[in-house]
Amino acid sequence: QKEVEQDPGPLSVPEGAIVSLNCTYSNSAFQYFMWYRQYSRKGPELLMYTYSSGNKEDGRFTAQVDKSSKYISLFIRDSQPSDSATYLCAIRQWYSGGYQKVTFGTGTKLQVIP
Amino acid sequence: EAGVAQSPRYKIIEKRQSVAFWCNPISGHATLYWYQQILGQGPKLLIQFQNNGVVDDSQLPKDRFSAERLKGVDSTLKIQPAKLEDSAVYLCASSLTDRGADSPLHFGNGTRLTVT
């Protein structure tokens, strides 16, 4: 079983739709959850991070974590064509020496159609 | 703040040849990461440095891949000899530290390697 599972899509939605992107993880020791956005031929860029269960909102984006189900989600409201990208969930765990290890999901490719 | 710089952007080589990638992290970032991203997949960690020491290289194919970070700043990743399955984007990332909740990874735009 992979540490982080993510539906690769692609996901195609009309402009203005609400988008839901999801990941599941296997290790309950994971504490810090991130969403990265990756445009074509670019490196991933951090979108949001959270380390607690519940919701965290930033503009049109909401990150949701359910630690009891080991499930994380990213919601995009009023989706725009500029949101077309691959969205990667990422999870941090700690090495025994206190260093962080960041593991990524496979990414979900999103296309927002004008 | 200047971002993570990587070069070259693209490289095409034949199998069994060697290749090297260079990364310059954000100034002051102690931790440097090399990830491999195969088309349609998420980034996979190859090696992680804390200053110039290796924290994790468990997924680095050491028979053909090597990496160094001299003086705790720039880093190079080398492949020798390359195989067809090494075709991927090689991403370098850095973080201010690797402890604490506010140390996200900042990525460069990667080097796209094609092995023919």
- The minimum CA-CA distance between B40 and chain A, rounded to whole Å, is 7
Contacts of B110 in chain A (CB under 8 A): 42-43
Q: Are B36 and B87 in contact (CB under 8 A)?
A: no
Find which of B31, B94, B105, B112 to mutate to test the A interface (most A CBs within 10 Å of its CB): B105
pLDDT in tens, A11-32: 999 999 999 999 999 887 777 8
Q: What is the pLDDT along chain B (116 residues), one digit of tens a residue?
A: 689 999 999 999 999 999 999 999 999 998 999 999 999 899 999 999 988 899 899 999 999 999 999 888 999 999 999 999 999 999 999 998 766 556 789 999 999 999 99
A32 touches chain B (CB under 8 A): yes
- What is the three-class DSSP state of B71? helix
pLDDT given at position A3? 86
Does residue A2 carry a pLDDT above 80? Answer: no
The rounded distance, in Å, linking the Cα atoms of B44 and A85 is 19
Rounded mean pLDDT of A79-85?
97
Contacts of B107 in chain A (CB under 8 A): 43-45
B103 touches chain A (CB under 8 A): yes
> Nearest chain B Cα to A51, which residue?
B101
A106 touches chain B (CB under 8 A): yes
Strands A32-38 vs A85-94: parallel, antiparallel or unpaired: antiparallel
Of A42, A101, A107, nearest to B56 by CB-CB distance is: A101
The rounded distance, in Å, linking the Cα atoms of A28 and A42 is 31
**More confident site: A9 or A10:** A10
Nearest alpha-carbon partner for B2 in B26, B22, B24, B23:
B26
pLDDT given at position B102? 64
